[in-house]
Structure 1
């Protein structure tokens, strides 16, 4: 079977007896090209299923119309929402998005950055891994004049726009809610101590306790390494079997909260009557837990959409200064059964 040849701009010009530049201008309805020629060229192109060579067009514009997106996890509900928002914004402006997952490993992040830089993406959206401290591999994009926008987890060593949720304030509101519900001994299963969103949520936790005159036990703040359900289970067990058990647990994510609630159920500790549980991120599973989980909705779609819009604006207006832009998307507290004693 003979492979069907794709119709090119040269084919159209040759068949209609016009120059390639005239055919191109007619397809784009340029001024100075007669209506008759425009119709003739467009009719021929439609009849023969002509598809513009976007690579050649973008090469002339010094753009690939492709952006990179590097995330710690693709299946994580919050990050999948961010990806959806970024894809929505990019598609609206005719851009493609290459997505790479780091699994929270610096090595994978460096490799992804090198591959995207070699692939000549117009810019990148990135949420750094938990292992990332030095950022030379990201700085390489800025050194080549390419746009970089950080989202969620970020490094202050980079001069780039940042889009994130209001982790400190939403953690403060989450713990304040627990206090208002009568809980007084509130533990916080946190993330890695050096990770930005972990630090901000811990700061919000401390702010709420201090504002309400509540003491805390340093042993009430265990730190997850991998932010998993298994760690939530193990730390809840550790907390509740200690000599000074808490009466509420504020968790770094809903997956950790799920593990904590599984332990409490196994130990026959009633939620919320004996122990309240608060999550973070509003995973879909939080609605169907028994009892349903109070949590924080971070509006990941809006974070991704905003980050992509800022990046695309920067790629299209490279001379416009945006390095100091910091955008926080306000989160919402979602109150469900796990804190309603």
Structure 2
């Protein structure tokens, strides 16, 4: 059997998400070859290039697009750079993997969608939560109806103040919002996807001392009449970061952290928690996502989700900000 050529990758932005998730995962998958990295901090880039034996180092992403032989560009930059970098990558004929959000506005999204269709390239939003084994199991058991109709659900990400440092995430212009945009996007995606529901309206309460909100709680009303809540914060004095996702159904519960599935059957509580799903390292979901991209790139399968699904989550987030500004429930259009 003829050996396939490696997929040549260029990474823009070599901050935490690249170093904790992407670089270790890409290095463990033989289909990939990391050939170029780009970051405004050239010293950091050079350190990363030595560790992973990366040939090209740039501090200008357009120069990287022009001067490196890459097939795929991974965009891990501040949010405001995502849209122009996607568009530039498409212009140079590259496929793209990009952290959320894709863009800030619906006008930008329509422009992006048109360009993707015109260039016939892959743009994969990094919805890594959908590749978590626990999230996939919850999605399957909830959408199958085995635990009965959903009564109530809640999810959250509470990030310890002890691990928080000032960055571009505190700028409305660079981040597009605060904790709802940064943490909320990721939680919301696998929350909504796992339930298999559509959001009808949102009502948001936010805490804002500076330019962007640092905490928020959002009430979700789904189109089937059920409801849920999600909360996010990065100013809580916890010993550690904490994420949760709980789904309460008429005949059982599904809880992500610690992972547990219980079902009520003939007045007895059955433990349906699978023994093969344990708490896994953070990068494992990225590893699974990047393996999926290989199959898509090789033409073996189609993307599990579309850019429209990523845009739907952005619509929910923007509705949250509108709700807070107007102090009322807002419909997700």
Asked if Structure 1 and Structure 2 have the same fold, meaning a TM-score greater than 0.5 normalized by the shorter chain, the answer is no
Structure holding more helix per residue = 1
- Which has the higher Rg, Structure 1 or Structure 2? 1
Structure holding more strand per residue = 2
With structure 1 as the length reference, what TM-score do the two structures score?
Answer: 0.36
